[in-house]
Structure 1
Amino acid sequence: MVNARFLLRQVTGAKRQCTVFVLCVALSMITLVSLGSFRESVESSLLRDAQSLHSADIIIKSHSPVPPNLERERAVLKDRREIRSARYWEFYSVVQKPSADASLLCNIKVVEPGYPFYGTVRLASGRPFEKVLSPGSLVVEQALLDRLQLKIGDPLRIGNAVLTVKDVVVQEPDRPVNFFALGPRVFVAAADRDALALIGKGSRIEHVTLVKVTDPPRLEQVASELRAATDNDGRVRVETYKNAGSRVKRFFDNLLFFLNLSGIFTLLLSGFGIQSTLFALLKEQERTIAVMKALGARSRFIIGHFLGLTLILGLFGTVAGLAGSFALQRYLPALFSGLIPAQVTLQVSTSAIFQGMAIGLLVVLLFTALPLYRLKEVKPKAIFGKEETAALWNRSTWIIASLGALFFLSMVLIRLRDLKTGLYFMLSLVSLILISYLLAWVTLHFLKRKQPKNLALRQALKGLFRPHNASLSIMVTLSAAFAVIFAINLVEKNLDATFIESFPPGAPNVFFIDIQPGQREAFGRMIGPGASFYPIIKGNVTAVNEIPLDQAQERKSRGDNLAREMNLTYREYLLPDERIESGETLFRKDWTEPQVSVLDTVVKMHDMKVGDRVSFRVQGLPITARVSSVRTRTSSGFSPFFYFVFQESVLSQAPQTFFAAVRVDKAGISALQNRVVSAFPNVSVIDLTETVTVFGRIMQRLSSIVSFFTSFSVIAGVLIIISSVFATRYARIQEAVYFTILGARRAFVLKVFAAENLVLGLVSGVIALLISQLGSLIICRKGLDMTYVPYLGESLLLLLATTLLVMFVGLAVALPILYQKPVAFLREQSEE
């Protein structure tokens, strides 16, 4: 039975170590419970409000008018009163003041009566949406009124129609996260659709039909009947609210994916902190343990007592972590402001608490197993200060390490819910730690041989190798943690430079979409020389080498996929920023069958090579083309590019629109947009200078969120530094006393300790910088397909900051040692 007096004596005798232990447990609990609660809050909200998020029971989506068979089936079900339905058409278009002196790209939504079936479109006036949106009227976002300097009751031109602004939309159920939009929302009544003259053949329109089932139990049956009527047209998707994907769900899936990666990494580092702190605590109790063994206590008895101590400290850490999680919930809404749906309430969930407590207990048991097991190796002769160096890796160490690896693999699979991704993450994590370990070991091996002339520095280097010093583990932990944070900063810098800060000289910064074939010549005269035109034909990939594409599997991809409708084009030349990566030329002259050139991005989505055959459905007609070449881009950014490029003879007669790109001085963009909208109302103008501003805000917010959660890993690293100082406290006191006896002043001892921590921080930072540069290079070039800049100036500033952090933390913890009086220490030694 565990002796309560014994436990109390251990806690009061090692307050600092116990405090650090509790903080490590609390840190792991905060990470687990906060991320778990956030995930459950979002997922439960999306599940609970799934019908509202989609505004219907069944959602039919297509980028072209739905097939006649599907329309007939919908009409039949509607006549039988099995369903109610309402359509809407969503697209981007430029709206303009009637005076033609101001215009703005907006997200237009033309809706039929009945929309939405679930949820409510809230208006600033509080009036019912269906009463306000009548023929001839508009409902707009406040941002539109502000930017065009309009007010309620003013007219606004959209396409060929002039309509009146009647109210302001505050919230719509199926658009809970609005930062994806390139412009403010504008609602138009379906009765005015034809008057707009904006929906033409080949236009970039999302056709959506919302269906409400009158008999809910027949939901799946009705959905199946509608799917059967699509005639397997890959352009049409029929989904229920239960399985329909949404932009907001995909966004949070990806965000939670990266936050979970960060959380698992922090959990691992917290575990190392727990282990290091317990080693420090047990090291201070080594003579007590030796006395107990000399008096006949068995190892099992001693291990049981200290296990009780760790469980009690773990309980305190758990309580502190839960308190921190509740406190953090007040900050998370501000952190995620603008990124979470309004109906999501962030709160600590009961299941996340119990799950966090269970995982926290397992982490404590796993990471305290080795220090507790090593108590068997303490011999009674340790009473006299005789130490025996045990083998670092023995059978028990390997067993405990294997159990830890299995535990973290299980954690990864549970949190990420993807076996392949989980294995990749574990491999990356092991590689990160292994590389950090090897570089740190090589560096320490090099430093061990060095004998610098400066006495303080020489003593500092010797201090790195004092008994039970955790120099290697500190370097590995800090370099791994800092490498992740450095990489996040470097990738963010490269994203800013590529997509946000500026355009390459001469690159187009204004795009024009939905130019009809008959308008091309007149449009070209208006824009003038320098504009590049690209034909766009809608199509879907149906098979590769006669193997049908698994649409459902493709859509599970976190990135882009081949299941969506593609923008195909035709030309006989390479763009200035393209080169052939595989194949001889863009198209082969010795092949008579239809040919297609693919971008290397497509090869990453689906395995294909030169000579393979890819099948498409273009405007309902099947086309099979042979891959003639694989292209790659030599620059990144918002320059136009296409995944699939056909020969002109293959697609030139297909229904198409044109896309144009031109470089315009920023001051002249607004005037050009007004002229284009006045002459060609159907043409949408995308000002990329405005687009990148929106993109930049999103990137900064996401970066701050990821950095916030990643900073927990740095805190874990700092706790490991503190625990290392505690583990070597006796040796440090001994050194300080001997220095003093030999005539050294306190300033000299301070220099020794400062130099030791400076070396630790500098080496950890340099290793982190090397790993982060390599990792960022791979992420940017392979993952994001963009050029990479190392940003050496910013990298050196990060290195300086981390070095100073480690040095000051180490000094702050070691400072009390400097005030240890030699007489008291020597008297204590003589008494022992």
Structure 2
Amino acid sequence: MAWRDAKASKVRLLLFMASIILGIAAVVSIQLFSENLKDNIQRQSKVLMGADFIIDSRDEPTERAQAIIDSLNPDAREVNFVSMIAFPKNGGTKLVRVRGLDGDFPFYGKLTTIPSSAAASYQELGGALVDATLMLQYNIKAGDSIKVGEITLPITGALKSIPGSNAMSSSVAPPVVIPYRYVAKTELLQFGSRKEYQFFYKAPTADLDALENRIEPMLDLEKADLDTHTSTSRRLGRRYDNVGKFLNLVAFIALLLGCVGIASSVNIYIKEKLKAVAVLKCMGATRRQSFLIFLIQISGIGIIGGLIGTLIGVGLQELFPYILKDFLPFDVEIHISMQPLIMGVLLGLFMSVLFALLPLMRTWYVSPLEVLRIGGAPMEKPKKARLIILLIIITSLYAFSFWLLKDWQYAAAFVIGVLVTFAILAAVAVLCMKIVKALFPKWADFTVRQSLLNLFRPNNQTLVLIVAIGLGTFLISTLYFTKDILLSKTSVGASTENANLIALDVQSAQLTETMTTFTDNDLQILDNIPLVTMRMHNIKGRTINAILQDSTRSIRGWLLNHEFRTTYRENLIASEELTQGNWISNHTTKDPIPISISDNLAQDGKLAIGDRVVFNVQGVLMETVVGSIRKVDWGQMQLNFSIVFPKGVLEQAPQFNVLTTYVPDEARSAKLQSELVAKFPNVSIIDLRQVYTIIEDILQKVTWIINFMAFFSIITGIIVLIGSVRNSKYQRVKESVLLRTLGAKNKQILRISALEYLFLGLLGSLVGVLLALVSSLLLAILVFKEPFVPSAVPFLVFLPGISLLVLAIGLSNIQGVLRSSPLEVLRREV
């Protein structure tokens, strides 16, 4: 019976199946890629690092740290720093990361260069390896020279890749590799310069976990760090776990929309089968038999849909390495495992049956008297059974989301959010029906009354269609609003009031001549910011070493070893807002110095107004007290500080300066950079327009990825929408035929259907857009912490577009009725 009935309804059942296929494809493809990513990270962890373990220090290692480093016999070493370089061939200048290497690094993986021999010969020849993309940009070839500080080196080859780097990190500061012995001769490592010392070890048989447990605490006390390839693997795994959670959520939403499509379509389908079920029961069929006929149909749909979706998912996961290549530090090798494939088929079966159970239960409780009943008392409503099924659905949703997210709180929040969205859409639909019924315009003409009656009378489709339309619109609009929030975080003003060029590490002896270079180029200095480096020595009466040895500490570890770059000034700036305490602009007494700290530093350091902190300022201990706490907008492209001193305290401390200016065009920017690099090689220059271009490129890639992932959900939502509206035609065919038999014209029938579907489309999409507006506002406030300025596109494009789509599908439903005689239509439907 299941097979015979399915053959008669094959077109409708195919629409059911389409709802589930893309959701399964999304889940399978993302699960397969996540497994491949984890396997690749584990296999390639040594290649990513280039060594078995590394000891690094943000400053020259202390005597004790150097003794530990030497006792382990490093096989290679490096010092790296960011600096400006110049190409004498054409006068080009660029901010790069200089890596001074000594030894046969890397031990795993390789330096990929053009020519390939350059990787082995650059040390002996005393040449430089320059990022290949950078060489293309400046039309530089092997054999040309590069000026790094006070020395000029021949370029031995183009550097294609080096362990640990990726396209994103290289785009901001491309790598330039030089022999370690030349670093001192560059004279770039001066006071205040940011640098990192790394020592590489090859120890394939070492117990790295035991080494980490023994050495790490000792290095922590000396402001150094040990990093093993196994810890790097774990850290990368955690980082890409978050990516996986996002992708899994997108896939789950697509699957959930497919399940809603199944539920809404089966609900309409079963409504029409109740008479047939009643006839079967009159002929002796049991409840179990009539229920199983349709359960077998839905199970078959789930298995076939799961199988097709799984095959599509296998093909789709081949695209992920290409999509995410710029965000991964290695090439991902793809292989197929059986677990996600089996899961895809079983998931299709389970989710189809689970979401079809509620409408299927109606076949269980239908009475044989339904054959004779015409508009009589409604059949029995199985409230207890419905409640049990609802609990099973909610529990299954939670279990599945927990399995995807691996966090019970996130899973609970997601399920609650889904339930709230469903509840709001359903409540709007019910409220709409009650309002139309209560305020029914009896004075309106026949077609208007008939279309409004369709919204609340028996066999209405208001609830099903508003939920389906609202969900699809909600998802699409939320994605659009969220993209706007992300892009708004990168806005850089293009007026002369905003700096777009920054000169860093200007030494005190260079300050006057640097400022003269600016004015000689007709450029106004917008900011002259002094920087003083210091470290924390004592927090609330406890020394940093004592805090480091305390395993129960609540203070975040980063600030205990951090070298703070602080400044002093009289006023707050535009990116700051005072939240606690009083701003002190000058300090001349011998009392502890009142400082202002950022809110994130106060939180991580467990600091409050009045707490004492002692700083080590190049060997001099300075006692301070927290006088105020500021909220800092770190997203703004200007210099922000965790710690700000009042004037009258640090003026005589060893310091360097940062100068900012506005450069109107690229030519003047290049001229200024060339002059400054020629005079002061240690001065680094950041052109914010170039940085903005890089950020914009990154965000375009991120936006493209988000849109690609959302493609599954959006297409599934549209298919659900089409399926739900298309299947609703079977509820209207007999009514339209009856109207034609009674003398209604085609124009009247078209108008009745048009008004009904237009109303449902407008209401569903309007509620979806408004819900997206609220959810995006909450995201902006709670997650992105950004002001939210909603775009008009969802209101001007999505709202009318989806409404017209619903109208078009609805009108297509009755074309057969209009083109054929009533008797032909009735025969065809039977």
Task: State the TM-score, normalized to the length of structure 1.
Answer: 0.88
- Describe the SS at the equivalent of 2:327: coil
Distance in 2 (CA, whole Å) between partners of 1:550 and 1:463 is 74
SS at match of 1:512: strand
Per the alignment, residue 66 of structure 2 pairs with 71
Moved more, 746-755 or 87-96: 746-755
Distance (Å, rounded) in 2 between the aligned partners of 1:453 and 1:65: 86
Does the CA contact (< 8 Å) of 2:616 and 2:622 recur in 1?
yes
- For 1:458-495, what per-residue CA distance to the aligned partner results, in whole angstroms no more than 9, with x for missing partners? 44333333534443343234333433332332232344
Alignment of 1:229-628 (within 5 A): 229-233=218-222, 235-244=223-232, 252-384=240-372, 386=374, 389=378, 394-448=383-437, 449=439, 451=441, 453=444, 456-500=447-491, 502-503=493-494, 506-528=497-519, 529-534=524-529, 535=531, 537=533, 539=535, 565=562, 567-571=564-568, 572-585=570-583, 592-600=591-599, 610-611=609-610, 626-628=625-627
Describe the shift of the 1:100–1:43 C-alpha distance in structure 2 as closer, same or farther (beyond 3 A). same
Kept in 2, the 8 Å contact 1:614–1:625? The answer is yes
Higher mean displacement: 133-142 or 266-275 = 133-142
Aligned residue number for residue 116 of structure 1? 106
Cα drift, residue 712 of structure 1: 2.3
Are the structure 2 counterparts of residues 152 and 212 from structure 1 closer, same or farther at C-alpha, using a change threshold of 3 Å? same
**For 1:543-602, what per-residue CA distance to the aligned partner results, in whole angstroms no more than 9, with x for missing partners?**
799796999999999xx9868846442323201343323334357989944444233455
Letter in 2 for 1:10: D
CA displacement at 1:17 relative to structure 2: 2.6
Compare 761-770 and 643-652 and name the one that shifted more. 643-652
User: C-alpha distance in 2, partners of 1:817/1:717?
Assistant: 28
Q: Which amino acid aligns with 1:569?
A: T
Q: Provide the residue aligned with 1:725 in structure 2.
A: 725
Give yes or no for the alignment of 1:10 onto 2:9: no
CA contact (8 A) 2:596 2:643 kept: yes
Asked whether the equivalents of residues 177 and 248 of structure 1 are also in contact (C-alpha less than 8 Å), the reply is: no
Question: Which residue number in structure 2 is paired with residue 784 of structure 1?
Answer: 784
Aligned mates of 1:556, 1:356 — CA distance in 2: 45
* C-alpha distance 447-508 of structure 1, shift in aligned 2 (>3 A): farther
SS in 1 for 2:189: coil
Change (3 A) 1:219 1:403: same
Aligned residues of 1:474 and 1:721 also touching (Cα < 8 A): yes
Aligned-residue offset at 1:623: 7.6
Residues 605 and 459 (structure 1), Cα distance of their counterparts in 2 relative to 1, 3 Å cut: farther
Q: Residues 61 and 357 of structure 1: is their aligned pair in 2 closer, same or farther, counting only changes over 3 Å?
A: farther
Task: Tell me which amino acid in the other structure corresponds to 2:357.
Answer: A
Q: State the alpha-carbon separation in 1 of the partners of residues 445 and 491 from structure 2.
A: 49
Say if 1:94 and 1:158, in contact at 8 Å, map to a contact too: yes
Aligned partner of residue 172 in structure 2, secondary structure = coil
Distance 2:226 2:9 in 1: 64
Instruction: Tell me, in whole angstroms, the C-alpha distance in 1 between the residues paired with 2:541 and 2:811.
Output: 65
Matching residue of 1:62 = 57
SS at match of 2:458: coil
Query: Is 1:705 matched with 2:705?
Result: yes
**Are 1:197 and 2:196 counterparts?**
no
Alpha-carbon distance in structure 2 between the residues aligned to 1:91 and 1:18: 64
Deviates more, 1:306-315 or 1:817-826: 817-826
Query: 1:707-786 to 2 correspondence within 5 Å?
Result: 707-725=707-725, 728-786=728-786
Q: Secondary structure at the match of 2:332?
A: coil
Any idea what the Cα deviations from partners look like across 1:773-812, whole Å, max 9, x if unmatched? Answer: 3333333344333333222256422333333333334444
Q: 1:299-326, CA deviations, whole angstroms, 9 ceiling, x for partnerless residues?
A: 2232233322222221111111012113
Q: What is the rounded CA distance, in whole Å, between the counterparts of 2:555 and 2:759 in structure 1?
A: 47
Q: Which moved more, 1:159-168 or 1:340-349?
A: 340-349
Question: 5 Å matches for 1:27-46?
Answer: 27-46=22-41
1:359–1:315 distance in 2 versus 1, CA, 3 Å:
closer
Q: CA, structure 1 residues 554+231, in 2 after alignment: closer, same or farther (shift >3 Å)?
A: closer
**Distance in 2 between residues matched to 1:172 and 1:593, nearest whole Å:** 49
Q: Does the aligned pair in 1 maintain the 2:128–2:178 contact within 8 Å?
A: yes
1:244-277: CA deviation from partner (whole Å, max 9, x where unpaired): 2799666634432322222222222222112222
What is residue 3 of structure 1 aligned with on the other side? none
Distance 1:349 1:730 in 2: 43
In structure 2, C-alpha distance between the alignment counterparts of 1:71 and 1:188, rounded to whole Å: 23
Quote the Cα distance in structure 2 between the aligned partners of 1:797 and 1:712.
Answer: 20
- Report the 3-state secondary structure (helix = DSSP H, G, I; strand = E; otherwise coil) of the residue aligned with 1:149: coil
Counterpart residue type for residue 754 of structure 1: A
Amino acid at match of 2:567: Y
What is the one-letter code of the residue matched to 2:754? A
Paired with 2:647 and 2:234, the residues of 1 have a C-alpha distance of: 36
Alignment partner, residue 213 of structure 2: 224
Superposition CA RMSD, Å: 3.7
Instruction: Give the superposition deviation at 1:241.
Output: 1.2
Change (3 A) 1:95 1:287: same
* Residues 459 and 188 (structure 1), Cα distance of their counterparts in 2 relative to 1, 3 Å cut: farther
Tell me the SS of whatever aligns to 1:96.
strand
Unaligned runs of 5+ in 1: 1-5, 79-83
Query: Counterparts of 1:639 and 1:343 in 2: how far apart (Å)?
Result: 35
The range that moved more, 112-121 or 272-281, is: 272-281
Shift of 1:608: 6.1
Query: CA shift at 1:55, angstroms?
Result: 1.2
Distance 1:203 1:389 in 2: 82
Unaligned runs of 5+ in 2: none
Counterpart of 1:273 in 2: which secondary structure?
helix
Q: TM-score, normalised by structure 2?
A: 0.88
Residue 17 (structure 2) aligns with: 22
Superposed CA deviations along residues 412-458 of structure 1, whole A, max 9, x for unmatched, are: 22222233433333344444444444445444544453539465454
- SS of 1:230's partner is helix
Counterpart of 1:700 in structure 2: which amino acid?
A: Q
In 2: Cα distance, 1:811 partner to 1:457 partner: 16
Residue 823 of structure 1 and its aligned partner are, at CA, apart by 1.9
Contact preservation (8 Å) 2:51, 2:108 = yes
Are the aligned partners of 1:88 and 1:109 in contact in 2 as well (CA < 8 Å)? yes
AA of the residue aligned to 1:597? S
Letter in 2 for 1:298: T
Task: State which drifts further: 610-619 or 493-502.
Answer: 610-619
CA positional deviation for 1:87: 2.1
Query: Alpha-carbon deviation of 1:671?
Result: 1.4
The answer on whether the counterparts of 1:156 and 1:162 sit within 8 Å (CA) in structure 2 is yes
CA distance in 2, matches of 1:475, 1:413: 28
Change (3 A) 1:171 1:801: farther
SS at match of 1:181: helix
Tell me if structure 2 keeps the 8 A contact 1:33–1:322: yes
2-side partners of 1:818 and 1:261: how far apart? 44
Letter in 2 for 1:599: S
Distance, in Å, in 1 between the alignment partners of 2:189 and 2:409 is: 43
Matched to 1:178, the amino acid is M
